[in-house]
Amino acid sequence: MVMLVVAFVSFSLFNFVGDPINNMVGEETSDEERAELRETLGLTDPIYVQFTRFVGNAAKGNFGISYQLKRPVSELISERLPATIELVLISALIALVSGTLLGVYTGINRKGFLSDIILAISLLGVSLPTFVIGILFIYLFAVILGILPSFGRGEVVSLGYWTTGFLTLSGLKAIILPSVTLSLFQMTYIIRLVRAEMMEILQTDYIKFARARGISEKSIHYKHALKNGLIPVITIAGINIGTLIAFSIITETVFQWPGMGFLFIQAVQFVDIPIMSAYLVFIAFVFVMINFIVDILYYFIDPRIRVKAEAVSG
Amino acid sequence: MTFLKINNLSVNYEMRRETVYAAKKVNINVEKGEILGLVGESGSGKSTVGNAIINLIDEPGKVSGGSIILDGTDIYENPENILKLRGKKIGLIFQDPQTSLNPILTIGEQLIETIQTHLKLSTEEAKNKAINLLKEVGIKDAETRFNNYPHQFSGGMRQRVVISLALCCEPELLIADEPTTALDVSIQSQILDLIKRLTKERNLAVILITHDMGVISETTSRVAVMKNGDLVEIGPTKEILTKPKEIYTKALVSSVPPTNKKIDRFKIIEKENKTQGETNIKILNRWTKKDIIDQDLVKVKNLCKTFDDNFFTESTKNSVMAVDDVSFNIKEGESFGLVGESGSGKSTIAKMIVNLYSPSAGDIDFDNVCITKIKSNKEMMKFRKQIQMIFQDPYSSLNGRLKVKDIVSEPIKLHNPSISSKDIDSYIYDLLESVELTQQSAERYPHEFSGGQRQRISIARALATQPRLLVCDEPTSALDVSIQAQILNLLKDLQEQLNLTILFISHDLPVVRQMCDRIAVLKNGKLCEISKTEELFKNPSHDYTKELLTLMPKIESIYN
């Protein structure tokens, strides 16, 4: 359902943001040639026929040909996809792991000095725009210290359809700055969420009851409290991985990362509509998939949902 | 040697502006094999004492003086001590079984973890022990239930699980903090019997914290009475309840509704309220009083309500019959009681009468008009004005962001849009004074009031439309006994003065006995019997009613 709506929006991009024929052909094309092209591209068909065709093609992964680069969009995307996926994956990992750990720490040691510092820094992470942080990082680590590269992906190894930067030293070095920059915003979000959840859960009766039974503090914090606290975190994290991809446009631009976001920015500059619409459909697809995965995760984490599901099916 | 010795225990809560003394120099001794009752109203410090023994006082409270010596070990001498004692030597049971179990771990996981924390047992041995324990506390089919999650248990069963968790490492002292307050009468008596049995079998020392005098008189051998952090009186239960020495204890005992007779009014703890009664119901001047006609104001005919579990497919498999073919009439001017345990459908009936739910089948007549068939909102308004409701929880039933003035004036304006603002003000003042609140309270917000005062605001709001029928859904179950007595007196006065008809819903049989002329007993949505109050209590005809009456904790049992 969501996918259909998004497909329609990106389809209308094609048709209503300027005349596609105008974008394709040069100044000197005659009106007859234009009409002929229109006919061969099927642009004279009624809207719904065009839309059905668009959806059908999109389902097959065919988004047409880029105006600017004159290559099939699907080819361009599959070329750039690994870079973005790797970047987002690493950032999500950094954000989730360190966010949860720091969140638990600040939730338990509410009044400690270290907690105050973590929270103060996390406030910076929320309030500074991603590109400012990126530029600061480049300045500090690439320009002044000179230990990390400031742009690009480094050397990549090609594994069939997939190109990866994980297998070379320069590739690994190159991913540090962009992924940390990208993860910072999400991380602060998760820190604060986990902290709030932990603080609330540590006040509940069942934690008090666990204490009264003499259960060790370690088990109370990590087994009893954290597991309960993770339920809302998963929801937010799911939505946020989608946001990470969206934010990656900025990060990729700052670091000249050859990913999809960078491709998209270039496409916008040249009004390269096939790429833009393909990007839109792709992002929507990722969001839907992530939500689906989150729902499945719920089922495993929260027994209450499991029982409800069984009751409905049984 | 005394098993548990509490010496001059003081607990302070240091707030920003003041220090609250939750316990002041309390001295209590408990021996093995006895159940000591700890009673008091809310804020008396009874739970604080319980929590202090296990060193789990909520922030910012702390023990400021005195000592607690358990079996020769001073709990506060060394902070390490209590960690070894928790669960191992002291078990604790909380009030609400719904919230005291971790929802995402199976009860088996929770039991095994607790057992292995204290006893050196393999997982297999711990499991066997846990299953035996579950059997001991009366959970059938313990082997399969072992792998269930807390939400798969009913309230009473959960409390049994909680008890098994508290007892799994064979503690010698059990602190039960209102263990049955959240449970139905029949479950309550089972749980209390269980505690009594375990006390005998295991030679436990038990501290039973409760506000329920009936529970105290039936379970405990000695009782300590607390008020505002002070220990008022301590002694054998029989002596304290029959010959209380202190004024406060006397007042507390007398405000408990007696189960064996009907009295006119409750005795009130505060003596200052001497000018109780007739003169202060100011609203009388404005009340367009209707004479009581000898007729049935409300006729409920074959009422049914089913709740479908599944929203999309109305499968009959998951639907719950909340109310099943219930018929009764309420005479104008009478107090009609609706009694039953949780899930019996009593609140559902109330909500259908005030038209918050629509019945699945059957009719409700009000003043000889069938209100369930009214479609237009305008028509319905006329009846909404005449039927008002008072809810159970005085905390959630008042909008916290509105001033009392606005809360009370809203229904007036709704049903009488042309009223001038000056009239409204004096109307509100009259209403507030009728429920024994001051005029100044109109400018304040609900959170500035205590539970009892809030319930008075609810009553004022209900009276604002000058209703003929007042539906009271457990109006006092969230309140202390002394406050309960005041509210019940107020309702009685109002009914007498204003010719109200009252539908009184409660699970508390003694209260119903004091309030109602006739009583209907419900079980699982079905009507068991309707009869006059005294007859019901003296010669119950239905088996279920008999059962309820024998299970009801009776404060009088101590006299025999």
Sequential DSSP letters for A249-299: HHHHHHTT--SHHHHHHHHHHTT-HHHHHHHHHHHHHHHHHHHHHHHHHHH
Alpha-carbon distance of A144 to A289, in angstroms, equals 41
The percentage of residues in chain B with a pLDDT greater than 90, rounded to a whole number, is 9
**Which chain A residue has its CA at the smallest distance from B118's CA?**
A214
pLDDT at B485: 85
Computed on alpha carbons and rounded to an integer, the radius of gyration of chain A in Å comes to 24
**Is A228 in contact with B166 (Cβ distance < 8 A)?**
no
Instruction: Residue B159: list chain A partners with CB under 8 A.
Output: none
What Cα–Cα distance (Å) separates residue B245 from each residue in B248, B481, B482? 9, 19, 18
| Of A233-247, B146-160, B310-324, the least confident | B310-324
Q: Which two tokens stand for residue A125?
A: 């992470």
Query: Least CB-CB distance to A211: which of B86, B102, B169?
Result: B86
- Are the CB atoms for A230 and A294 separated by under 8 Å? no
Alpha-carbon distance of B461 to B435, in angstroms, equals 10
B441-445 CB contacts, 8 Å cutoff, 24+ apart:
B441/B404, B442/B403, B442/B404, B442/B405, B442/B408, B443/B403, B443/B404, B443/B405, B444/B403, B444/B404, B445/B400, B445/B401, B445/B402, B445/B403, B445/B404
- Give the DSSP letter of residue B291: P
**Is B99 in contact with A210 (Cβ distance < 8 A)?**
no
- Are the CB atoms for A74 and A278 separated by under 8 Å? yes
The residue of A208, A209, A223 whose CB has the most chain B CBs within 10 angstroms, and thus the best one to mutate to test that interface, is A209
**Is B152 in contact with A215 (Cβ distance < 8 A)?**
no
Three-state SS annotation for B60-100: CEEEEEEEEEECCEECCCCHHHHHHHECCCEEEECCCCCCC
**Which chain B residue has its CA at the smallest distance from A226's CA?**
B104
- Nearest alpha-carbon partner for B519 in B301, B321, B261, B334: B334
- Mean pLDDT taken over chain B: 83
Tens-digit pLDDT profile for chain A (314 aa)?
Answer: 667 777 777 677 666 655 666 666 666 667 777 777 777 666 667 777 777 777 777 777 677 777 677 778 778 888 888 888 888 888 888 888 888 888 888 888 877 888 888 888 888 777 888 788 888 888 888 888 877 777 777 777 777 667 777 777 777 888 888 888 888 888 888 888 888 888 888 888 888 888 888 888 888 888 888 888 888 888 777 777 777 877 788 888 888 888 888 888 888 877 777 787 788 888 888 888 888 888 888 777 777 766 555 444 43
pLDDT at B336: 93
Instruction: Residue B113: list chain A partners with CB under 8 A.
Output: 215, 219, 223
**Is A205 in contact with B100 (Cβ distance < 8 A)?**
yes
pLDDT at B36: 92
Residue B290 has pLDDT above 70, yes or no: no
Q: Which two tokens stand for residue B558?
A: 């101590």
Query: Least CB-CB distance to B86: which of A206, A213, A311?
Result: A213
- In one-letter notation, the amino acid at residue B359 is P
CB of A212 within 8 Å of a chain B CB? The answer is yes
pLDDT at B277: 44
Residue B503 has pLDDT above 90, yes or no: yes
Query: Least CB-CB distance to A303: which of B94, B99, B149?
Result: B149
**Is B104 in contact with A302 (Cβ distance < 8 A)?**
yes
Give the mean model confidence (pLDDT) for residues B347-374. Answer: 86
Query: Least CB-CB distance to A301: which of B83, B104, B152?
Result: B104
B309 three-class SS: coil
Chain segment B55-76, per-residue pLDDT in tens:
888 777 788 888 888 888 888 8
Cis check for the bond before B60: say yes or no (omega within 30 of 0).
Answer: yes
Chain segment B399-443, per-residue pLDDT in tens:
888 888 889 888 888 888 888 888 888 888 888 888 888 888 888
B153–chain A nearest CA distance, Å? 12
pLDDT at B318: 55
Alpha-carbon distance of A78 to B46, in angstroms, equals 69
Alpha-carbon distance of B372 to B358, in angstroms, equals 7
Q: Which two tokens stand for residue B222?
A: 């000695």
pLDDT at A42: 66
Alpha-carbon distance of B181 to B19, in angstroms, equals 29
pLDDT at B281: 65
**Is B165 in contact with A311 (Cβ distance < 8 A)?**
no
pLDDT at B275: 46
- Are the CB atoms for B371 and B383 separated by under 8 Å? yes
CB of B114 within 8 Å of a chain A CB? The answer is yes
What Cα–Cα distance (Å) separates residue B532 from each residue in B36, B469, B519, B552? 38, 20, 6, 19
Instruction: Residue B105: list chain A partners with CB under 8 A.
Output: 223-224, 227
- Nearest alpha-carbon partner for B186 in B214, B156, B216, B154: B156
- Are the CB atoms for B434 and B281 separated by under 8 Å? yes
The enclosing H or E element of B132 equals helix B123-136
pLDDT at A18: 59
**Is A212 in contact with B91 (Cβ distance < 8 A)?**
yes
pLDDT at A288: 83
CB of A228 within 8 Å of a chain B CB? The answer is yes
For residue B222, what pLDDT band results from cuts at 50, 70 and 90? very high
- Are the CB atoms for A301 and A230 separated by under 8 Å? yes
pLDDT at B547: 87
Tell me how many residue pairs between chain A and chain B have CB atoms under 8 A apart.
86
- Nearest alpha-carbon partner for A193 in A226, A220, A227, A233: A233
Residue B103 has pLDDT above 70, yes or no: yes
CB of B162 within 8 Å of a chain A CB? The answer is yes
Q: Which of residues 291-310 of A touch B (CB under 8 A)?
A: 301-304, 307
Alpha-carbon distance of B170 to B414, in angstroms, equals 61
Instruction: Residue A201: list chain B partners with CB under 8 A.
Output: none
- Are the CB atoms for A69 and A159 separated by under 8 Å? no
CB of B308 within 8 Å of a chain A CB? The answer is no
Computed on alpha carbons and rounded to an integer, the radius of gyration of chain B in Å comes to 26
Q: Work out the angle at residue B413's Cα, subtended by the Cα atoms of residues B410 and B418, and round it to the nearest 5 degrees.
A: 165
Alpha-carbon distance of B160 to B138, in angstroms, equals 7
Chain segment B168-207, per-residue pLDDT in tens:
888 889 999 888 877 778 888 888 888 898 899 888 899 9
CB of B153 within 8 Å of a chain A CB? The answer is no
CB of B147 within 8 Å of a chain A CB? The answer is no
